Chain A
Amino acid sequence: MPTTAYLLLGALLFALGAAGVVMRANALSMLVSVELMLNAVNLTFVAAAKRFGELDGVIVAFFVIAVAAAEVAVGLAIVIDVARRHVSVDVDRASDLSG
């Protein structure tokens, strides 16, 4: 399979994730979308590592996975707090910082 196919798939996944983040109002859906974006990037890194025959991309992908785990932990904590305050996980209700 050519590298271009991986890259196209990565871009598609990233765009889907970004659209999900912007369009879904459910905080949990947004977290899932963020995961999708992170893994789209991971796919791109790994594809690049395979293409150039080096391990750098793979190493970065491992880092991203590790950071994503931490991100999910913090993100879920925030979601739980939002749910307690607003009796909902709808992020549009959490607009206390409106100017």
Chain B
Amino acid sequence: MTLWLTVLLPLAGAALLALAGGRLGRRAHGVIGTGAIALSFGAVLSMTTAGTGPGVRATLGPWLPLAGADLTLALDRTGLPLALMVTGVSALIALYSIGYLARDAGTQRYFAALDLFVAAMLLIVLGANLAILFAGWELVGLCSYLLIAHWRERPAAAAAAVKAFVVNRVGDAAFLIGLLAILADRHTLAIGSLGPLSIAISALLLTGAVAKSAQLPLHLWLPDAMEGPTPVSALIHAATMVTAGVVLLLRLGSSLAPEVLAVAAALGALTALGAALVALAQTDLKRVLAWSTISQIGLMFVGAGLGAVFAALFHLVAHAFFKATLFLGAGSVMHATGDEQDLRRLGGLAARLRWTTPAFAAGALGLAALPPASGFFSKEAIAAAALDRPWLLAAVLLTGALSALYAARLFTLVFLAPAGSAASAGAHESPPSMLVPLGALALAALGFGALVASGTVALGVPEPARPPPELALGGGLVAVAGAALGWRRSRSGARELLPPALGRAALGGFGLDALLAGGGARSVAAVASALERGAEATLQWSLDAAGRLVTRAGARVQRAESGLLRSYEAYLLAGAALLLALWSLGGTGSR
């Protein structure tokens, strides 16, 4: 029952806020929203010992009339660290939101959606069957829509929310088809008893994961999702949304076809590398972070695709810590400078933001995978998993170097380079309610990797054999070199790192957004309008034809209405004769 509490507490928080929130103040919204998630975190924490052992199952009752589709949650070795991370990081982000949205009018729907978001993500992490997982999957999409469009009066936010929702629908549709195919094929949805799945079904599930986790070519929605409030970005990127695809791959893991897993790894490597290049060229603080998320999730896909559960899980949790730190740090920067997020106008904040700067630095260290931050250890684990695949290994290492480069560029431009505008010069530190969660996450981002690597904290999943020290050395050197280069080039305030032509191409995401959202969407729209025109023409024609038919028939009937009394009498007689004939023919038979 404690297991269900983890989901029901945030759900109750969301319901309470949605139903009775109008009568409460902003502070109460924040307290309820944060408290529900914090209590859920406590519930997960109380099951730590059970979760590392044989696991916990809890059934609330039957749900769908399908095999294995009961309301059952299961906490296992993979689920425990994920559930702890989701609830813990979300609670800190919710706490941070209280300060961040102190003057916002929409705190009721904000915290209600936040709580629902966490409950939905927990369904994905803990659901014992694919039906529950899918319910969470859809709810996550809904909540992301609600939260990205939080500032609904901004057209850009509304458009970004629609884009996120629609792109996710592509994956959701594939996932749903895969789910039904599994049901038809295996007659059960229970995750433990699926057995090996066919390539087609695995590919459909992978498509779902790719869309939710913003991997190539369905990554388009994530950079635009920046239009939401910054804590929402932190939530989506770190705890509750984009990792869902990785969670799906990890949970289904051995059931998926090996060919599809290889595709997942290749896709992840390609995404990691491409998104890292794009991140290098961005001029918007939050967009750098958005593209870096796509890149880092790509690394998790590499790990999950290679079957390295430990590595993928490790990087997922480590990434959640440092990415949440970075986004909350970015939120603090924006709070300090009056919502400035243009890297060309920020700068020199280190002297003014005494607490945000070290916290952001901890996050950037993690992103750059510099020792001793957690990213160093988790990226090393992924590299170790890719050790016997030279191409994947090269992609992972190169992504590591690029990550260090853009992380160093980002930090240098925002905090060290000369101030670029008056807003940067007049910056003021955020209130403690924002700094406390930021600090806690920064500490986690800094220490988590070392704790896991040293064995102090167990991830539940058995750690594979240690990678050779040369790999750690090489990865570390690559990261240091990248970071040093980024720092050297950016400290004087130079905004561009890439050659101009490449930079321009990378700034627009190599034209993929324009190609897919522009060209692709345009061609779909063209097909749709052609169909619409065709349907309209057909409808028009058939209505016209029906009309003509009735008119013609009417003209025929009209001719009978001659106005001649004798013709009417003739009809009368003919009718009477006909009835008589019918009666005498049929009547005798029936009698």
Contacts and interface: CB of A to CB of B under 8 A. Distances in A.
Contacts, number: 34
Chain B interface residue count: which class?
10 to 19
Given A18-B573, A22-B573, A99 B566 contact: no
B563 A91 contact: no
Interface in B508-567: 558-566
Contact of A91 (B558, B560, B566, B573): B566
A94 interface: yes
A28 B515 CA distance: 90
Contacts of B465: none
Contacts of B566: 21-23, 25, 91-92
A91 B560 CA distance: 17
Interface string A69-99: 0000000000000000000000110111111
A99 B561 contact: yes
Contacts of A91: 564-566
Contact of B562 (A21, A22, A99): A99
A6 to B, nearest CB: 19
B569 interface: yes
B578 to A, nearest CB: 14
A96 B564 CA distance: 9
Contact of A22 (B559, B561, B570): B570
A95 B565 CA distance: 7
Chain B binding surface SS class: helix
Contacts of B573: 18, 22
A23 B566 CA distance: 7
A94 B565 contact: yes
Chain A interface residue count: which class?
10 to 19
Nearest to A91: B565
Nearest to B577: A18
Nearest to A25: B566
A32 B569 CA distance: 15
A21 B569 contact: yes
B570 A97 contact: no
A98 B562 contact: yes
A22 B569 CA distance: 6
A16 B558 CA distance: 30
Contacts of A95: 562-565
Contacts of B558: 99
A22 B576 CA distance: 14
B459 to A, nearest CB: 90
A8 B517 CA distance: 91
Interface in A27-85: none
A21 B573 CA distance: 10
Given A95-B563, A97-B561, A99-B559, 11 more contacts: A18-B573, A21-B566, A22-B570, A23-B566, A25-B566, A91-B566, A92-B565, A92-B566, A95-B565, A96-B563, A98-B562
